[in-house]
Structure 1
Amino acid sequence: MLNLVLFGPPGAGKGTQSEKLISKYNLVHISTGDIFRAHIKGQTDLGKQVSQIIADGNLVPDSITIAMLEEEINKNPQAKGFIFDGFPRTVAQAEALDKFLKDNNSSITGVIALDVNEQELTQRIAKRQEISGRADDAADKLKKRIEEYFGKTIHVLPYYEAQGKLSKVNGIGEIETIFTELSQVIDSYSA
């Protein structure tokens, strides 16, 4: 089973590259952001609970995020693998994911971090905000999300680096060039 974590700050291109990787490797995409937005749009109990947290640019508590993620994995028992986008965001989440996968006779195959500087991120998200109007892309929320990433989330990388599972790919450039580099990293897992 091929289980990947696609890592990077808001606006790094995780969603764009995930779509291409899903198609090429026949993986199930699990984006915590997409799941949260679906719950909010559907006005589920979870959606109501996390709506304000996300709108304020804060991270949803680990317990809620992990339970939701496990539910998504369990919905896809025939999956050839998963690509985790936007998760894990804390070492506690990474440990919980490792435990859950181990309990299901699986593990994370690799973690790929898209390297993108803050100036590029700001430009990309400003463009995305114009197109999508996502509430979490508003300038004040964006600044908080980027600070959250560089202040807290990035500390998950050493956890995976210690396991020998971390690779970094330059996330600035043409979409196809970045995709080719990602594919080379993923293909090396089975070499």
Structure 2
Amino acid sequence: MRLVLLGPPGSGKGTQAVRLKEHLQVPHISTGDLLRAEVAAGSKLGLEASVVMARGELVSDAILLGMLEDRFSRPDTANGFILDGYPRNRAQAQALDTLLAKIGQPADVAVLLEVPSELLVERIAGRAKAEGRADDTPESVRTRLKVYSDQTAPVIDHYRQHDILRAVDGVGSLNEVFARIIESLGAGQAVG
């Protein structure tokens, strides 16, 4: 199963990805974790990324795609993967499609965790308080959610047009949401 996991900040992607990894027996690939690992390892792409990040800039799509291509070439992805945190815009979605077609592993399904914005604000504010993070104010969270919505809506449409999008209600207990995701993976009908 080659799964792309989509959802706004606070929707539970990371938490559910860990559970899906165990259930599906495929690796969870977070682009943020991958980037940090490549920088820590001092790989060629990691060194390129660290120079860019030291300037306070965003790592280019070309560097991220190179890291993803390398990661997808490892034997543990032969039976699939769960991709979390990428793509974040239509250009990235198209580049990812091209990469996955090139390596013969096109995405099987894109799962979108849907959670109302106000609940996301509450979740992130609660997480920020528990972790002692002052930067996740309700206002900053709303701004992040707007950026997510503006950039990611085209990604959602991209996967809908490819008929592999499954929208899942992300509200409820961890077990309830997980059960909905598993059910959506077995569903024969994509969300249109």
Q: TM-score, length-normalised on structure 2?
A: 0.82
Aligned length: 182
Identify the residue that residue 174 of structure 1 maps to in structure 2. 173
Q: CA RMSD in A?
A: 2.5
Identify the residue that residue 138 of structure 1 maps to in structure 2. 136
Query: Once the two structures are superposed, what CA deviation does each residue of 1:127-184 show, in whole Å capped at 9, x if it has no partner?
Result: 222344579x633654443222111122111111111111100111111001001001
- 1:176-191 equivalences under 5 Å are 176-188=175-187
Distance 1:70 1:119 in 2: 36
Report if the CA contact (8 A) 1:37-1:47 is conserved.
Answer: no
Distance 1:165 1:152 in 2: 19
Deviation at residue 40 of structure 1 after TM alignment: 6.1
Report if the CA contact (8 A) 1:111-1:166 is conserved.
Answer: yes
> Is 1:49 matched up with 2:49?
no
Identify the residue that residue 149 of structure 2 maps to in structure 1. 150
Report if the CA contact (8 A) 1:28-1:79 is conserved.
Answer: no
Structure 1: gaps (5+ residues): 54-58
Identify the residue that residue 8 of structure 2 maps to in structure 1. 9
SS at match of 2:99: helix
Identify the residue that residue 56 of structure 1 maps to in structure 2. none
Report the structure number with the largest CA radius of gyration: 2
- 1:1-191 equivalences under 5 Å are 2-38=1-37, 45=47, 46-50=49-53, 52-53=56-57, 60-76=59-75, 79-132=78-131, 138-139=136-137, 142-188=141-187
- Structure number with the bigger relative contact order (C-alpha 8 A, sep ≥ 6) is 1
Given residue 138 of structure 1, which amino acid in structure 2 is its aligned partner?
D
Structure 2: gaps (5+ residues): none
Report if the CA contact (8 A) 2:26-2:77 is conserved.
Answer: no
Q: Would the alpha carbon gap of residues 143 and 72 (structure 1) be closer, same or farther in structure 2, given more than 3 Å must change?
A: farther
Report if the CA contact (8 A) 2:52-2:59 is conserved.
Answer: no
Distance 1:14 1:158 in 2: 19
Over the matched positions of the two proteins, sequence identity in percent amounts to: 35
Deviation at residue 69 of structure 1 after TM alignment: 1.6
Distance 1:98 1:65 in 2: 14
Distance 1:42 1:106 in 2: 26
Deviation at residue 97 of structure 1 after TM alignment: 1.2
